[in-house]
Amino acid sequence: MEKMNKPLISVIIPIYKAEKYVEKCVKAVQNQTYENLEIILVDDGSPDESGKICDRLATEDSRIRVLHKENGGAATARNAGLNVMTGEYIAFVDADDYMELHYIETLYNTLSQKHAQVAICSFKTVDEAGNPVSIDSLHDESRDVNISVAGADGIEVFTGNEIILQDLQGHWEHVAPWGKLYQADLFEGVRYPKWPAYEDEPVFIRVFDKVEVAAASKDRLYYYVQHAGSLMNTAYSEKQRSTTIKMWHERIEYYSDNTPRHKELRNCVLQAFVAWNVLFLSLHAHEMTKEQKAELKREIKRYVICLFKAPHLYNSKESIKLAVKCVLTLISTDILRKRYTN
């Protein structure tokens, strides 16, 4: 099919201090088998040579548009791209990542075949040298990530709520903007907040709250580069703790109305928040002040009753196990520490 017979897809790439990676990333997008692209490079006030590299690449490809802005973080950079994009569909890429050459075409075909509003692919986690990295047992390279395969085509169809539930159960990659192709209208009235971290969370729940059909492929087409100093590898910080609590409170408030769609997930959200408090206290209580620990324990006491109500995050048996962990954590934050740190 000729390029112009296909709809325009806007690819938004926030860029900051990425001079070592950005050309590889952009070239991977330029060389996609799906050619009708609008490639928006958002230079977020990068102090290195990233902006100049973007400008040079734009002279070589008319599909590339470069935005230069003051530094405001990835959230403001994505918003800048969303504010100017003209495509019928949107894909986000991180400047230090890369993808298979048929990445966008496969996502588009997946979305079209299943009449979906979002197409999702699986991913590989690699280090800067391209070597596989194991993040956790849920995302080991030995497993099919994201989904259990339903059909011979390797594609499974979900509702937006089912994708949100999978995130609550540990599939954090669903929150990440990359690895997906979205209908552009899903972002009408939705923008990223300027938070110091976890700014993807409120956008994720608002976008997928609109989704009736999401199609997920088992194909690992996106390469997520894990850096030694990335957020996922950093030690405890008070900013991380307080921002995460803010994120959970925002999510709980969002699901606190009485709409049937939100009722489906509210108790699961509360149970996931309780589980996070138990895990965070077990891992980091020894690094926290007495007041900081007390705040998380109050959250456990406030919501522990939700563990005995349906719907459950997993099932009633797992909820009972979590209730026991709550009691142990409230007795002593050291009891479960060995379990979670080994």
Phi–psi pair at 249, nearest 5 degrees: -60, -40
Cα–Cα distance measured from residue 275 to residue 304, given in angstroms and rounded to the nearest whole number: 10
Read off the tokens for 200.
């993807």
Query: Is residue 43 pLDDT above 50, yes or no?
Result: yes
Between 39-48, 134-143, 244-253, 260-269, the lowest mean confidence (pLDDT) is in 134-143
For 68, the enclosing helix (H) or strand (E) is: strand 64-69
> Is pLDDT at 317 greater than 50 in this prediction?
yes
Predicted pLDDT of residue 138 = 60
42 φ, ψ to 5°? -105, 100
Polymer length of the chain: 342
Please state, in angstroms and rounded to a whole number, the distance separating the CA atoms of residues 288 and 240.
12
Q: Does residue 329 have a pLDDT over 80? A: yes
211-245, pLDDT tens digit by residue?
999 999 999 999 999 887 554 445 788 988 999 99
The pLDDT of residue 229 is 54
CB atoms within 10 A of CB 333: 21
Quick one: pLDDT at residue 151?
61
Identity of residue 266: R
Say what the pLDDT of residue 47 is. 97
- Mean pLDDT, residues 262-282: 97
Report the 3 state secondary structure along 127-181: CCCCCECCCCHHHCCCCCCCCCCCCCCCEEEECHHHHHHHHHCCCHHHCCCCCEE
Among 68-72, 157-161, 240-244, 302-306, which is the least confidently predicted range?
A: 240-244
How far is Cα 34 from Cα 103, in angstroms, rounded to an integer? Answer: 8
β-strands 214-225, 118-126 pairing: parallel
How many Å is the Cα radius of gyration of the chain? 21
d(CA 276, CA 282): 10
Bridge partners, residue 11, by sequence: 39, 91
The residue whose two tokens read 């999510």 is 251
- Per mean pLDDT, which of 79-88, 126-135, 144-153 is the most reliable? 79-88
Give me the pLDDT at residue 263, please: 94
**How many other C-beta atoms are found inside a 10 Å radius of the C-beta of residue 193?**
16
Confidence at 249, pLDDT banded by 50, 70, 90: very high
As a whole number, the mean pLDDT across the chain is: 92
pLDDT level of residue 136 (50, 70, 90 thresholds): low
In this structure, what are the phi and psi dihedrals at residue 212, rounded to the nearest 5 degrees? -90, -35
For tokens 């997906």, the residue is 180
Strand partners, 15: 43
Positive or negative CA dihedral for 61, 67, 68, 70? negative
Tell me what pLDDT residue 149 has.
Answer: 46
pLDDT at 139: 60
Q: Is it the case that residue 82 has pLDDT exceeding 50?
A: yes
* Cβ atoms of 226 and 131 closer than 8 Å: no
**Residue 143: its pLDDT value, please?**
39
pLDDT (tens digit, 9 = 90+) per residue, 7-26?
Answer: 999 999 999 999 999 999 99
Query: Average pLDDT in the 145-168 region?
Result: 80
Strands 180-183 and 89-92: antiparallel
Tens digits of residue pLDDT in 116-135? 999 999 999 999 888 998 76
Q: How far apart are CA 173 and CA 109, in angstroms?
A: 21
- Confirm if 116 and 109 have CB atoms less than 8 A apart: no
CA distance 337 to 342: 9
Q: How far apart are CA 175 and CA 244, in angstroms?
A: 14
